[in-house]
Chain A
């Protein structure tokens, strides 16, 4: 796989990890053509979509909340859109920006994740929130109960 192909794939939205994986196959001399690599990459988003829900179910509540707090425009992004969003977030939160500069692979992976899972990330926002358990509410005396005597059991009234 030559450099042009790699660059082209990154621009198409495939993460460094995907490219690393297929480069790994090629380096291991597993017989796989460039066309086959492209075909495999075409089905990757479908696999990832199924994985998303599996993984999402396995996440703890705090992690799910993190995903829910990711605010994305209401339109399918391109990979470049997701990348730009993360760069701007990096400018607003300098420590994250510095992290992305030091770890460009992570920046690309996260952008790729947003690009591929935008639909799922939008869908989970529409899911009804878990209803909290009703809390015990301490009764405070109302006007009608002030000065009232203790309640008698219902049987006494019925007797």
Chain B
């Protein structure tokens, strides 16, 4: 079941990567590091012990 179109998702992905590239440059880091930080923000620290 989907609500976003393929086109919307492609555009969102492209814009997100572009904006992350600009932010990485500003913060003196890499796009990969920013995504890892985003993953860290999204996942509470206590999650790890429940994940198998």
- Whether the pair A88, B9 counts as a contact (CB closer than 8 A) is yes
In the bound complex, how far is the Cα of B19 from the Cα of A72, in angstroms?
Answer: 12
Choose the segment among A17-25, A127-135, A138-146 that binds chain B (4+ C-beta atoms closer than 8 Å): A17-25
- Whether the pair A106, B39 counts as a contact (CB closer than 8 A) is yes
- Whether the pair A113, B16 counts as a contact (CB closer than 8 A) is no
CB neighbours (8 Å) of B47 from chain A are: 17, 20, 109
A9 at the interface (CB under 8 A from B): no
Q: Which of B22, B42, B50, B52 contacts A113 (CB 8 A)?
A: B42
A105 at the interface (CB under 8 A from B): yes
Given contacts A62-B27, A72-B12, A81-B9, contact A110 B39 (CB under 8 A): yes
Q: Count B-side interface residues using an 8 Å CB cutoff.
A: 35
- Whether the pair A92, B14 counts as a contact (CB closer than 8 A) is yes
CB neighbours (8 Å) of A112 from chain B are: 42
By size class, the interface of chain A is 35 or more
By a beta-carbon cutoff of 8 Å, the part of chain A in contact with chain B is 16-17, 20-21, 24, 55, 59, 62-63, 65-67, 69-73, 75-78, 80-81, 84-85, 88-89, 92-93, 95-96, 99, 105-106, 109-110, 112-114
29 contacts between A and B (CB under 8 A): A17-B43, A59-B41, A62-B37, A65-B27, A67-B38, A69-B16, A70-B16, A70-B38, A73-B8, A78-B4, A81-B9, A84-B9, A85-B9, A85-B12, A85-B16, A88-B10, A89-B13, A92-B13, A92-B17, A95-B32, A99-B32, A99-B35, A105-B51, A106-B39, A109-B39, A110-B38, A110-B39, A113-B42, A113-B43
